[in-house]
Chains A and B, each alone.
Chain A
Amino acid sequence: MKPFIPKGGISMRKTCCSLVFILVAALLFSTPTWAEVQIKFYYPVGVAGPLVAVINGMVEQFEKENPGIDVEPVYAGNYNQTMQKVQTALLGGNPPDLAVVEISELYSLLQMNAMIPLDPYIEAEGGKEFLADFYEGFLGNAYGRDGKIYGIPFQRSTPILYWNKDMFRAAADKLKAAGLDPDRPPETWAELVKYAEILTIREGNQTKQYGLIIPGGWNDWIFEAFARQNGSQLIKEDGVTVTFNSPENLEALKLWVKLMQEMKVCPVLRPWNITPDDFIGGVTAMMYYSTGGMAKIRKTAKFEWGAAFQPKNKQYGTPVGGGDFHIFKGIPKANQDAAWKFIKFMTRPDIAGYWSIESGYVSVNKKSYELAEMQEFLKQFPQMTVARDQLKYAYPKMMAVNYQVIRNAMTTNLDAALEGKKTPEQALQAAHKMIEDAIKGK
């Protein structure tokens, strides 16, 4: 064999050996943690901002206060992805102990028979009194059809209207000429159109500044708000009756199409995540966005900005949004108990308040707003109260089985209408039919 060995044979062997060594060394690298109870907690981040670090900090504090419990926070992506991960884990027979998912998914999870009712825990904490601390508007999405409660609100929001006060001031003369007040945002749909038109600045064939952005991605959510403002809704509370093609909804969609296609004062399908950038970067004078984006705007916007209720048509109205905690079946009782402890901790006035300040979400616990720290903060940033106060006009978000399919049907058809590929009538009819099919499982 002599002739062949020197020709690279040795270095080959060396490489192989070192590769094996690396592999073995690396596989040995793992740090098992030990605690009496370990729980896995899946959660999404649905708005722009470094919220993972905030959650990790809260988990650490919980562990400090509860030495016997080890919480493994699993950041699972955006809302869609988190639901996918949870569903996948359920299918894999390996349910998480605790998860936050988007509130409209409740019926899908119930369909999978995945969650435990939380009533016994709530009873033990004082029943109605315990629930009384939560904003009612947020509890609407927590109940199953059987009347039992399956979720506890956590990261909760509503869409609101953000407006750039500097831009309003810059256009003061024109606004006044049109009989509009430059020191306040629009309060009705009609005003919204007028403001948006005046605040749009064009130069040649380029739009220097948009009057308004209604972002894509979650336009189904904002569309539901418009439906509510017009006295209609998309799916009724029973989770079965679809009212997507109501005349009120058609009027709302026509308004959107007018803003985007006819008047071109609002860009078509701006990506959800980039929209706050556009607001901060001075691309638009107004935007519809979740309150959850407020922390970021607060920290980066270099101009005076305001937050306001969404303009009304027949009435003020908005769906709530965000995610609730759920505890799962098929895990040891001790884990369920630990998960409940964690939920209680996370919705405590001080913790929920901290979460609200860091993220911009509304604190789910009314008592948060009594804390001195919170009051001090709100004095500095009164915008933060808008979403809370808008809760007066808030309705539960629509819920139905197969919600992922439904949401897809809604966004696809809304997108098509807004891009002018379908008429508003066609889009609503198509969505209506797809949603009905999805609910029936066709």
Chain B
Amino acid sequence: MEEKKYETVLKIFILQFAAIAVILPFVWLLSTALKSPGEVFTPTLKLIPDTFMWSNFLEIMDRAPFWLYMLNTIIVCVGILLIQLLLVIPAAYAFARLDFPGKDVIFLLFVIQIMLPLESIIIPNYLITKKLGLLNTRTGLILPFVASGFGTFMLRQTFKQVPNALEDAALIDGAGHLRFIWHVLIPLSRPTIVTFSMISIATHWNDYFWPLIITDMDRVRTLTIGLGMFVQQESGSDWTLLMAATLFVCAPIIAFFLATQKTFIKSFLTSGIKG
């Protein structure tokens, strides 16, 4: 199947145009984060700062404990992911390969949860978390997200595809449920697990509403909330510092995905995500 020359050129042009259009806001972010305050007070389109103000980053550290926020964010993201995997893998296994009464109904409960994100039932969840005494704790930031209907659904689809022959082989070896999961299902479902994990990390690095409601203290605040608070204080006052803080909040997650790009793209494209 040959592409006509003009067709190729046109397609590449469209792609490049879109790519650049989407990247431009980020370039603007980078450039502003490195400018001096005086440079942004005139409405001009200058991309390269006169002097690179690396000190902007030191300055935001002075104004708010961003490293602490980052630590909190990492704890919360990792915590959520680990518990999610602990809960989701056995559940998906049960739905994919075991039988028991009421399976359909219970599975439906998991699937419906996909459509009911925490944000939509924030009021009662806040009340429950309050009753549990988990306001202003990292545990309170983690627990409401650990039962993932999405993860259960995704992994179940993948687990189902593992051929029965492998299960038989495992049985002959005398393996039980757990060994079978650990040694057969998990290795064979790596792309899905990796994909789910990375989506989970990206999602919860993003969380804003829930931490906004249940945290007051700097010692439990996450990056997004720290940024939101910083903004309330600074907004309009100094775009350079604001953009430096914004960059600080999104740089780690972007760096993480860039560093793992090959694994991520490969896993994503081969995982069972397409539904």
Contact = CB atoms under 8 A, between A and B. Distances in A.
B233 A4 contact: no
A85 B216 contact: yes
Given A76-B216, A81-B232, A89-B216, A9 B183 contact: yes
Interface string B71-102: 10011001101100000000000000000000
A8 B229 contact: no
B233 A1 contact: no
Contacts of A382: none
A88 B126 CA distance: 10
B184 interface: yes
Contacts, number: 100
B163 interface: no
A26 B74 contact: yes
Interface in A268-293: 271, 273-277, 280-281
A48 interface: yes
B261 interface: no
Contacts of A271: 236
B252 to A, nearest CB: 14
Residue in A20, A92, A271 with the greatest tally of chain B CB atoms within 10 Å: A92
A26 B236 contact: no
A48 B234 contact: yes
A274 B236 CA distance: 5
B62 interface: yes
A273 B183 contact: no
Nearest to B139: A27
B170 interface: yes
Contacts of A22: 74, 78
A45 interface: yes
A75 B187 contact: no
Main secondary structure of the interface of B (DSSP, over half): helix
B130 A77 contact: no
A134 to B, nearest CB: 27
A77 B228 contact: yes
23 contacts: A1-B183, A4-B183, A4-B187, A5-B183, A7-B187, A16-B82, A19-B78, A19-B81, A22-B74, A26-B74, A42-B216, A48-B234, A50-B233, A50-B237, A74-B216, A75-B229, A89-B216, A91-B130, A271-B236, A273-B237, A274-B236, A276-B236, A277-B236
Interface in B156-186: 169-170, 173, 175, 179, 182-184, 186
A112 interface: no
Interface size range of chain A in the complex: 35 or more
Given A20-B82, A89-B216, A300 B37 contact: yes
Given A23-B82, A277-B236, 12 more contacts: A1-B183, A4-B183, A5-B183, A9-B182, A23-B75, A26-B74, A27-B138, A45-B232, A52-B63, A92-B130, A277-B41, A280-B41
Interface string B10-37: 0000000000000000000000000001
A77 B229 contact: yes
Contact of B170 (A1, A9, A74, A91): A1
A231 interface: no
A122 interface: no
Nearest to B75: A26
Contacts of B183: 1, 4-5, 9
A3 B172 CA distance: 13
B217 to A, nearest CB: 6
Nearest to B142: A23
Contact of A74 (B37, B78, B217): B217
A372 interface: no
B235 A48 contact: yes
Contacts of A1: 170, 173, 175, 179, 183
